[in-house]
Structures are given as C-alpha cells and as structure tokens.
Chain A
Amino acid sequence: MVGGSPDAPLLVVDDLKKYYPVRGGIWGAKIGDVRAVDGVSFTVARGETLGLVGESGCGKSTLGRTMIRLEDPSDGQVYFEGKDLARATRDELFRLRRDIQIIFQDPYSSLNPRMTVGEIVREPLVVHRTGTRAEQLEKVRSLMETVGLTGEMLDRYPHEFSGGQRQRIGVARALALDPKLVIADEPVSALDVSVQSQVLNLMVRLQQERGLTYVFISHDLSVVEHVSDTVAIMYLGRIVERGPVDRIFGRPAHPYTRALLEAIPAANPLGRRIRVPVEGETPSPVSPPPGCAFHPRCPFAVDECRADVPVLDPVDDDGGHPAHIHLAACIRKHEI
C-alpha cells in the first residue's frame, strides 16, 4: 500500500470487523457475538463519493465509526493514504484526524448547546493548535461564508437556528481543518425536503471546490444515487454488492439490491404499479441465518445459498480502478 500518488486510492478498507460481545447467564459470561460489521472491504478513490446504503441495523453507521476509530475494530485494516488507521497509536490518530472528519445525522444533538456557533466551528482549530487566535477567527468567518451563513450569526447559540442551518454549522466545523475525507452519516435524513436539497448542493459544491472525498452513509437511495460515484449495499454486517453508481442502479446484480430499488416509491403517480413486496424482515445479527444472510427472504434462493456464505466476486471482468469494479456476493448473480 503506497500513499501519496494521485492515482492511489485515498481509503482502502480491508476485511474490517466489529463484533460486540453478547453476555448472558447469571455471571454475565460472553455467550456470543453481534457481528455488526463482518468482513467489509472497499476502496474509495480520491475526490469521489462512496454511498453506503442499507436498512436500519445493517451495520452501516458502525462501519462509519469503526473506519475512523471512533470504535476500535475487532479485526481488519483501514488504510488512509497508505497508513493503517486500525493500528495507529494515539498520537498518530490525533494527527490523522485532521484529515478525516465526520458529519452526523442529527443536527439537534451533535452541537454543544452551551457553545456559541463561533466557538463550535473554531473548536477543532483550537484543539489542533492551528494558527494564531486572529487567524482562527478569520478562518471561522470564511467557513461560515462558505456554508452560506453570515458572520453576525457567530455569537448565537445552536437553538436559535433551524435544522438546515445547524447542519450547515456541522459542515463548517467538519471543514475547519481542511480534511481530505469526510464521513457523512445520514447528513440530510433529519431535514425537510426543501432544506435537504440545500445541504446536498452545499456538499456537492464543496467536493468540487476542495477535492473532498466522501463516504456518504444513507438509507435514502434517491439521495445516494444523486451524490455518489460508487455505491456499496450492506445487509446484516456485510457488503452484498458494490460498484459504480450507474451499474448498481441500472443493472443491479444482487437480489437484495433489486428488492431495495423495487421498494422505493417513485415520486411519479403515472409510474405506479402493483408490486408484491419482498417478504420478511432483516434477521437478528446475533444469530444470522447460515449461508447467505438474505436467503430466507430471497425469491431466487436454492439449497447452496443456505450452505455457504457467498463471496463478493466481480460481476464481469472489466478492470479499471479498484474502486470501480462491480462486485456482488451472490452465487446466482449470472443466472437471475
């Protein structure tokens, strides 16, 4: 893994695992694991957006947090510009975190209510001792402008702002240290439709201006299709399919991806159709089904699907950048 050259991927996640112990019995002994993230691998190219999609409990948020060591991984590697985050020491992590920032879903709880907006946006600069006080204040002012807020708002408190404005403040704070990678965990899910498009436009513009790389975590497929270059679909702790956005949305190979796409109601009353939805619910990650975790709900399942966990294999052999290969974890992907 060599970092630095412009073609090298910015982020490579390799067989990452995050297990949580399940305790039981009167002594609270460990009786099993919740495999929240169970061997996830992907690559993100510099300046691109990976959309990470899945339903609640699929492990996408845990993956986001484990990737940047907000949680310690149980196993696996995360290479950021060639350096392994999973094994970095505290000091190394502190330095690496300048380059990696996170934006959270809930603009209401992710901002400290006792700090002014100016203090919130400036905090990362203070923590990382970047520049003089005057330089910091200047930077905060320009960040506020960048995200579409005015300088007069600096002395106000978070509760004085609307949801969309708060999310802009979160974006300004994330940009304070000029990061290379931003993990956005459901950044627009809590926002009203008319405000959602404002924040999406802002994120896209910032990416174009600053060459940012995003990992965009969301359950909203229309939003993911709009902002992503590549997409990874998660089900029960694993990636079941990933590849370029056009392929995932245009020619999905995994039955679960198809079911998801089929289930989104299109905002078009003329395209309305009677659809018999996919049955059942996501199984518990404490006792996942054997073989392919989707088999109990899959209309194409055969006996082999119940036996072995399918590997994430290329759908066809068009090469290219490792971030752009279309892969699916389904043994019947070529037949269905």
Chain B
Amino acid sequence: MPLLEIDDLRVGFDTEAGRVHAVDGVSFTIDAGRTLGLVGESGCGKTVTASSILRLVPSPPGRIFGGAIRFAGTDILQMPSQDLSTIRGKEISMIFQDPMTSLNPIFTIQKQLGEVLTLRFGLEGMAARSRSVEMLGTVGIAEPEARLASYPHELSGGMKQRVMIAMALLCEPKLLIADEPTTALDVTIQSQILYLISELQKRTGAAVLFITHDMGVIAEMCDDVAVMYAGRIVELGNVVQIFERSEHPYTKGLLRSLPRRGLSRKSELPTIEGVVPSLLSPPRGCRFADRCWRRQERTPGEQQRCDDEVPALEQKEQGLAACHFPVGAVPLLAEAEVSGGR
C-alpha cells in the first residue's frame, strides 16, 4: 500500500468571475522512502494540490469538491478535524517557500522547536533543548546554542529557511511536503538544503513530495515526476523517462526551452508560444491543445479530437501521459533535433 494516495482530487475557488477549477482530477501515489516531484508553471495547481493534503486550502473561497487523499490508508478528507491535528506536524510536515508561514515572529527559536518536540515526543526541558541544538547543527546553523535565544527576525532568510526545515525534520515525519523550499534562496544555500533533505530522507525513510518549477532541482532530487498543466497531471513517470523520453508535448516543450550546456550560445531557444488558459472557462478537451507545437502536424480531424476530447492519463509507449498523440508514438524530426542538441 502506498503511503500517500491521491485519487481524483478536485479543488475549486469561487471568485466574482465564477469558479476557478484549480485542481481538476489529480491522482498520484507516493511510497515510503520515495520522492515525487510535482512540477509545473505558476497557476498550474501544484501548490493547491499540496495544500489539500493537510486541508490547508483556505475555505472560502476554496473548496475540495471531490476525490480522496488516503494517508496510510485513511482518507484525510473524511477525517474529523481533531484527528487531523494528530497528523499535521507529526506524521506529515510541510515546508514552504516563505519560512515566515510556519515560524511565529513573537517566540524564540527554542520555544518553537521545543513545542514541536513536546507535542510529538513528549520531550521537555534539557532533553528538548539538546535535541534542538543538535538539529540546528545538522541543518548547518553556526553556533546553534546561541541561536536558540534568537527571534526569527534576527536571522537571515537562509537561516530562517533552515530553522523551518529543522522544525519539520524534528518531527521525523513519514511524509515531508516541500513547496518550493529553495526558490527564494541563493544556489549555494539551495544546494545545502537539498543535500540536507536527501540525507534525512536516507536516514528516516520518509516519503517526500517536492514541489518546484525548477527542472534542475527535479532532476537532482526526485525518483518520480508528475508534470502539471492547467490543473491536471499531463505526464507521470520515472525521472529519467521524463527527462529522456517524455511523451507529452508540454513536458518536452518545457525541457527544450531551458538554456543548457551544449547549446550554441545566443542560438534561438525553442519556445512554447501562447499563454496558459484561464481556469475560469478551461478548454473543453486537452488544455494544452492551442499551444501545442505538434498541432500543425495533425489533420483537421485529429485537431478536432484534441479540442473536444479530454485525454486520459494512461500508459503510452514510455510512460503515463495524457495525450491523444504522444510524442513517443511518432518519431519526429523535432525529436532528433532535441537529442542532437544535448
């Protein structure tokens, strides 16, 4: 049984202009000890998906319309709120892009870390203190003893981020949800944090859901990848398959548009023309249809199918993809060009 199983999740937001279908039938699973990357551009629904797991979607205006989120077999969405609080911060921890989302500005670091330890393990006093110092050291904070007395505002951004991570890791969660944890940080600090997360995962065997828009971070950290576009998962598979043999034109387009080693400098980068569709009135069929770079190669009848019929996420030659005409099925000139550019 997978540790986390999300099944046909649907989340919407009611706005003055109507209902925004932010997450529209998302399903995936994560096993213990594995890392799943959830990747996509802003507004694709990846953060809403992650927040739903701990029922953190603000309501109103947000509402979970359907689906199930089973954690170790129990549906979180059906759970009474008091049971939920036994899971939050204990079996599931979440770290955010902005550390102040989880740090309280009016308490010292010692107080905040101590509270976690008391709640989770009943540790208090010197035992809690020494465990806190140890964890601050582990996340790379210099002079951890002295830092315990600090308030969050006395720390730099990178340090606050590490304190939040220390707090999340002190719980030794079974599932760690990391929502763009390093996006606001410099690359050298980012590599420290990524290293930490993978080291702790090795030690505790936690499952990690890693949300990011950075393909480099995905390649570095994840075992499996789910690519989201406009509220749906368009491709799901092993990280190597996604990067080397992606089936969905959106995934391929994203990867091709990255400047990377081996491309000649100042050469024209492949682009994905157009913009993400409005989720107030999303396209009927495939949501990527009007931006798809393979559209011109299709017959008018095939184009009609992309416009009208929602593609299901199903097994193609290489992996799971939601596309009527997956890339793997048709050898393409453009495909040869991609591998040549590597």
Q: Which residues of A contact B (CB under 8 A)?
A: 55-56, 162, 164, 192-198, 200-201, 204-205, 207-208, 219, 221-223, 225-228, 245, 259-260, 262-272, 275-282
Contact A267 B194 (CB under 8 A): no
Contact B194 A265 (CB under 8 A): yes
Minimum C-beta distance from A261 to chain B (A): 9
Contact B195 A225 (CB under 8 A): no
What is the CA–CA distance of A87 and B239 in the complex, to the nearest angstrom? 56
Contact B220 A265 (CB under 8 A): yes
What is the CA–CA distance of A165 and B178 in the complex, to the nearest angstrom? 30
Closest to A264 in B: B187
**Do most interface residues of chain A lie in helix, strand or loop, or is the interface mixed?**
helix
What is the CA–CA distance of A204 and B189 in the complex, to the nearest angstrom? 31
Question: Which of B98-106, B263-271, B298-306 forms part of the interface with chain A?
Answer: B263-271
Residues of chain A with a CB closer than 8 A to B218's CB: 267
Contact B259 A200 (CB under 8 A): yes
What is the CA–CA distance of A196 and B258 in the complex, to the nearest angstrom? 8
The answer, among B254, B257, B265, B269, for a CB contact under 8 Å with A225, is B265
Contact A193 B257 (CB under 8 A): yes
Contact B213 A192 (CB under 8 A): yes
The answer, among A265, A267, A277, for a CB contact under 8 Å with B192, is A277
Q: Given A194-B254, A277-B192, A280-B142, do A219 and B186 touch, yes or no (CB 8 Å)?
A: yes
Contact A265 B268 (CB under 8 A): no
The answer, among A55, A201, A264, for a CB contact under 8 Å with B269, is A201
Residues of chain B with a CB closer than 8 A to A193's CB: 41, 213, 215, 254, 257-258
Is B156 positioned at the interface, with any CB of A under 8 Å from its CB?
A: yes
Minimum C-beta distance from A286 to chain B (A): 13
What is the CA–CA distance of A200 and B222 in the complex, to the nearest angstrom? 28
Is B327 positioned at the interface, with any CB of A under 8 Å from its CB?
A: no
Contact B266 A204 (CB under 8 A): yes
Residues of chain A with a CB closer than 8 A to B194's CB: 265
Is B205 positioned at the interface, with any CB of A under 8 Å from its CB?
A: no
Contact B214 A55 (CB under 8 A): no
The answer, among A192, A226, A263, A272, for a CB contact under 8 Å with B263, is A226
Minimum C-beta distance from A280 to chain B (A): 7
Q: Given A192-B41, A223-B259, A266-B216, do A197 and B191 touch, yes or no (CB 8 Å)?
A: no
Minimum C-beta distance from A297 to chain B (A): 8
